[in-house]
Amino acid sequence: MTQTVLYSFRRCPYAIRARLAIAISSVHVELREVVLRDKPPSLLDYSSKATVPVLITADQTVIDESIDIMFWALQQADPQSWLYDLNSAQHQLSQQLIENNDGEFKDFLDRYKYADRYPEHPQEYYRQQAEKTLVNLELLLAKNGYLVADKISLADMAILPFIRQFAFVDKAWFDTSPYPLLKTWLDNFLNSDLFSSIMLKYPPWQEGDNVTLFLT
């Protein structure tokens, strides 16, 4: 295999962030759409974590963390300066925001989304905990325009797929929530050509399939 391959799942926010960076970099990648309950054996051979996304580079390097796939793609090409223009304070803020997103925010998002599995608290409790992150993001959007700068950068694209998931847990609530800048930021993303281009539907890939679908 000399082609770079991405094992992906369309709706997974981690896979979405990886596909966004791959698409903006225009690196040529073969997309293998996975069914999470029936993962292809080759995916499990490449990464025992058994999560998506997983990228296999042409030289057979396995990258099985979505944020690392973003860095890898942007190192190939960063035409909109998602990384390139940032100063060290912005890099640091970016890292903090992504850590909070993937840690505390994601935990509360899962509990909010699947509240029936976490009966210790009502759903509103989990939403309120997650809202601490929304308050912070709203403040940053007011201050900077985007999360860490006056233009889109890595942090926006790494975090937006999770805010999308949060918003759609209870869209009616989200639409009336007091985060106007966050809502516009999300809407612009959802309506973007970039987002549409990485949300196309592909049939699940199966071992031995010789149909090759390219992300870019």
Ligand X SMILES: N[C@@H](CCC(=O)N[C@@H](CS)C(=O)NCC(=O)O)C(=O)O
H helices within 52-153, ranges in order? 66-76, 88-100, 106-113, 123-144
Token digits of residue 163: 């805010």
Token digits of residue 114: 């699947």
Region of residue 145 (left: phi > 0; alpha: psi -120 to 50; beta: else): left
Least Å from the CB of residue 101 to ligand X: 10
Least Å from the CB of residue 204 to ligand X: 14
Q: Which is nearer to ligand X, 14 or 126 (CB)?
A: 14
CB of 17 closer than 8 Å to CB of 23: no
Show contacts with ligand X in window 59-78 (CB under 6 A). Answer: 65-67
Looking at 5, 21, 27, 52, which residue binds ligand X (CB under 6 A)?
52
| N- to C-terminal Cα separation, the chain | 18
Least Å from the CB of residue 109 to ligand X: 11
Residue listed under structure tokens 């860490």:
148
Per-residue x/- track, 6-35, ligand X (CB under 6 A): ---x--x-x---------------------
How far apart CA 40 and CA 161 sit, in angstroms, is 25
Q: Interface with ligand X by CB under 6 A: which range of 23-31, 49-57, 93-101, 123-131?
A: 49-57
Q: Which is nearer to ligand X, 52 or 182 (CB)?
A: 52
Q: Which residues bind ligand X (CB under 6 A)?
A: 9, 12, 14, 36, 51-53, 65-67
